Amino acid sequence: MKGIRLDKYLAQAGLGSRTQVKELLKKGKVTVNGQEVRRPEEKVIPGEDTVCCGEETVGHQEHRYYLLNKPAGLVSATEDSRERTVLELFPQGLRRGIFPVGRLDKDTVGLLLLTDDGELAHRLLSPRKHVEKVYEALVDGQMNQEDQRAFAQGLDIGDDTPTRPARLELCQVGEQSLVRITLTEGRYHQVKRMCQTVGKPVIKLKRLSMGSLKLDDSLREGEYRPLTEEEIGRLKEC
């Protein structure tokens, strides 16, 4: 069976642009079947050879997947005539073909998946799949059990149909409240509109998870990393 170049294999797995993965190779970080390999043109056979970068096994991926901790101030788009986009956080060499899976508002922070895998994106966003999305919100006002019941029943937020049942967890209650909200749909400004409907406008909003994919503490706002093989595998099970 014919192999593919090691630098291409590593770049396809999301480890960086061709230039960046050549740097990894130069630094001696990559092994193939336990042997350190520094030559980018070395051929590997996907599914047969075991490629590792440091401690991590690097599986062969046809597509690229990145977890971004989105900062405020950028729009979730690939291009925009006026605003800065999340793509600008990625070096030029990595931008080609990737797009954000769904949207977060410009002032929302947290988990955003970027990929060039249109099929997975389509499934994650499909209204029929009811993929869970968890948000942490700081709201103005005391969230209470009545709000929990209203979220659980579904709210009229001015659309044709009420929202699907959502979970509202009260983390800290006071003049301002910190809550966790789990949605299984993704309407425009949904969290903000739901909180506004119960009279407690959102002050800050952060997405913590989407399906099986969770934001981790390793990423500060504005930072991204490739998904691990395990994370990709679990997402594809959705």
Q: Which residues in this chain contact ligand URA in the complex, by CB under 6 A?
A: 104-105, 108, 189-192, 205
CB 72 within 8 A of CB 106: yes
With CA atoms as reference, report the closest residue to 104 among 86, 127, 129.
86
Q: Which residues contact 104 (CB under 8 A, 6 or more apart)?
A: 70, 76, 110, 112, 207
Catalytically annotated residue among 80, 105, 107, 116? 105
Is 7 a catalytic site residue? no
Residue with smaller CB distance to ligand URA, 31 or 184? 184
Minimal distance, residue 189 CB to ligand URA, in Å: 4
Minimal distance, residue 51 CB to ligand URA, in Å: 37
E-only strand ranges, the chain: 4-5, 30-32, 35-36, 43-44, 51-53, 56-57, 65-70, 99-100, 109-115, 133-140, 167-172, 176-183, 202-210, 213-214, 224-226
Residue with smaller CB distance to ligand URA, 3 or 186? 186
Minimal distance, residue 199 CB to ligand URA, in Å: 16
Residue with smaller CB distance to ligand URA, 121 or 191? 191
Catalytic residue numbers? 105
